[in-house]
Amino acid sequence: MPNKIDSDKIFINKAFEWWYRVPDYQRPYVWGSDQVTDLLDDVTEWMSVRPESEYFLGSIVLQERRDNGITEFDLLDGQQRLSTCLMIYAAGRDLATDKRLEEHCREAVFQQDDPFKNIPERLRIIYDIRDEVRDFVNEFIKPNGGTNNEEKLTELMEKSPDISVQNMANAILEIRKFFKDETAPKVEDFFKFFGNKVLMVYVSSPDLDDAFRMFTVLNDRGMKLRGSDILKTSNLRALREDKASDEVVRKWAQKWEEWEGELGDGFDVFLSQIRAVLVKDKARLSLLQEFDENIYAPRSFDRKTKTYTKRDPLLTRGLDTFNFIDRYYSHYQKIFGRNNYHLNNSWQFDNLITLLQDASLADFWLPPLLRYYDVFGEKRILDFLKKLEAKFCGDWVASETPTDRISAMNKITAAIDEVNKLEKASQEEKIAQLLAKDVFNFKYDTFKKNLEEGEVYKRRYARYLLFKLDALFAGADTLLQVPVNMSVEHILPQNPKSNSQWCVDFTDEEREAWTNRVGNLVLISRRKNSSQGRSDYEKKKEKYFKNNVEVFPNSVRVMQNKKWDLDALKKHHQDVVDKLCA
C-alpha cells in the first residue's frame, strides 16, 4: 500500500504544537536582516489593513517520523521560515508583560518535562546541522530570558565562525529591535494575529522518496529552493544507503554547509561550472536534471536506430560526488584567492582572473581553467590562462555567437582530457602539446578589423576591452582592482554643443566615424554625467575626469594629452589596437 502524502493549510499556533527536526543534510540558517524584518513588517501591515483576513507565510515540506511514540517531522524545506518563527516566539516570551502570552510563547519554543504526566523535556525544533547551532539554541532560545543577552548576541553575530549562529543571533536582535520600536504593534496584539491568522501550507509523507519528490516538484514550480539543496540531500541519502557512518555523513553535511556559506547563491553557479568540466557541453537542463541525466546516468543517442544506450556514469552519488566537489572547490579557492604572485613573481595571473571575472555573466572560461588545474596543477598555468583569455576575448570581439563561444571553451576542456591520456608523454610534453592545439585559434583578422573600424561603444565587450587595456598598461607589478563604480566614457562626446571646440576640431563626418571607436573611450570611476561629458576637452579633464581616472592606466595616458583632436585620437587609437592585438 503506497504511503500517504498529506497536505493542508496550518496556522502558526497549530504548527508550533508539532515537533520538528532540522536534519544534518540541511543548509545553514541564512536569513539576514532584510528577510526577517520583511516578514515582521508584512505581517504587521496585513494585520493593520486586513485584521480579519489570513496571511499566507509560505510552504513547508516534511518527512513524517515516529520517535519514541511521538510524531516528529524532518524539515526538507521551510527551515528558514520556521526557525525565524521560533525566534519570534522566543523574543515574544522574553518581552511579554502578559503572563499568559509569556507562557504561550514558552510552550511554542520548549516543552518542560512533567514526570507525573510522563511528558519529556523537548525543544520544538531540534537542530542536527551543527553542534554550534544546538549550543546556541540551548543558550539563547530555549531558556526564559535567553534573548535578553543582546551584548553576547551582538558578539556572536560579528565574530562567530558558524554562519547559522551569526544569522540566528542577528535575527533575534532584529526581532527585539522591531518590537521595541515605538511604531511597532503591541506584542500582545501581534501574537494574537500571528498565531491565529498567519498560515502555511504543508506537504508531508513518511517516505523520504515521496517527500523528496514533493521538494523537487515545488522547486520546479518556482519555489525559492536551490538545486544545490536537493543535490546535497540525494548524495547524503546515497551515503546512508552505502552504510556510511554517522561521522562520515555529518562530515560531508558540514563540508557542504561550509561551501554554501562561502559562495552563497553562487554555489549553484559553481556546481554548474564543474558540471561543464565533466559533460563538456552546453547545459540544456536544470542543474538537477544535468546531474541526474548527464552525469549520474548518461546516455548516448543513436540517430539511425533512434535508441538510447546507457553509458558509464561520470560520477556516482555519495562519496564520489562529495570528493569531486571538494577537490574542485579547493582549486576554485586557489584560483580566486588573489594570492598567486609566486607563479612568476608578478600579479599577471591574478590580474587576468580579475579581468575575466568582470566579463558580465560570461563565466564559461572557468571550467577549462579548473580542469587544467586539476590535471597539471600550477605548472605553466599562466601560459595556459594567457591563451585561454586570448581565445575568450578573440571570439567575443570577432562576434562569435554565445553558443559557439561556450562550445569553444568546452573543446579546450576536452583537449586537456585528450592530452592527459597520453601515457608515454611527460607532463611537460602534454602541456606543450595542449598549448599548441588549434582549439585556441580565433578569427584574428575579424578581431583586428572590429577593433580598428568597429563601433566598440555599442558592443557589450567595450568595458572588458578597456579594462584589459588597463591591465596591459599597468604591468604585472600592479594588482588590478575593480572600483565600485566603473563607467565607459567618450572623450570626444557623442553630442557636443554646436558652439564647442569639438565642432571646430572635428567635422560631422569625422565625429560619426570616430566617436564610438575604442581609441575614443576610457574608463572612469564614477557614474556617467551627460552634461559634464559634453564639455570641451580642457574643462572636461579638469571638472569631469580629474580624480576619477587615477586607477585606470589607459585613462591616465589619455589625460596626458594637451588636446584631443583627430590626430591625437588616431594616434591613441592605433596604440591601443596594437596593444590589444599583440
Rounded distance between C-alpha atoms, residue 363 and residue 365, angstroms = 5
Query: What is each CA distance from 452 to 400, 428, 473, 559, 568, in whole angstroms?
Result: 18, 38, 19, 21, 15
For 94-128, how does the pLDDT look when each residue is reduced to its tens digit (9 = 90+)? 999 999 999 999 999 998 877 777 777 889 999 88
**Cell numbers given for 406:** 561556450
- CB-based burial, 312-342: b 16+ in 10 Å, e otherwise: eebbebbeebbebbeebbebbeebeeeebee
User: What residue ranges do the domains of the chain occupy?
Assistant: 6-225, 228-300+308-335, 341-442, 447-581
Tens place of pLDDT per residue across the chain (582 aa): 356 778 889 999 999 999 999 887 677 888 999 899 989 998 998 898 888 889 989 888 888 887 677 889 988 888 899 999 999 999 999 999 999 999 999 999 998 877 777 777 889 999 886 788 999 999 999 999 999 999 999 999 999 988 899 999 999 999 999 999 888 899 999 999 999 999 998 888 887 666 666 665 555 443 445 678 778 888 998 998 999 998 999 899 889 988 988 888 789 889 999 999 999 998 887 788 889 889 999 988 777 777 878 999 999 999 999 999 999 999 999 999 999 999 999 999 999 999 999 876 678 999 999 999 999 999 999 999 999 999 999 999 999 988 899 999 999 999 999 999 999 999 999 999 999 999 999 999 999 999 999 999 988 899 999 999 999 998 888 888 887 778 898 999 998 988 899 999 999 999 999 999 999 999 988 766 555 567 888 888 877 777 776 778 888 888 888 899 999 999 999 999 999 998
**pLDDT for 206:** 81
Nearest to 238, CA basis, from 317, 304, 160, 171:
317
pTM of the prediction?
A: 0.68
For 167-217, how does the pLDDT look when each residue is reduced to its tens digit (9 = 90+)? 999 999 999 999 998 888 999 999 999 999 999 988 888 876 666 666 655
**pLDDT for 322:** 97
**pLDDT for 112:** 84
**Are 288 and 281 in contact, with CB atoms under 8 Å apart?**
no
**pLDDT for 221:** 42
**Are 428 and 419 in contact, with CB atoms under 8 Å apart?**
no
**pLDDT for 528:** 60
**pLDDT for 302:** 75
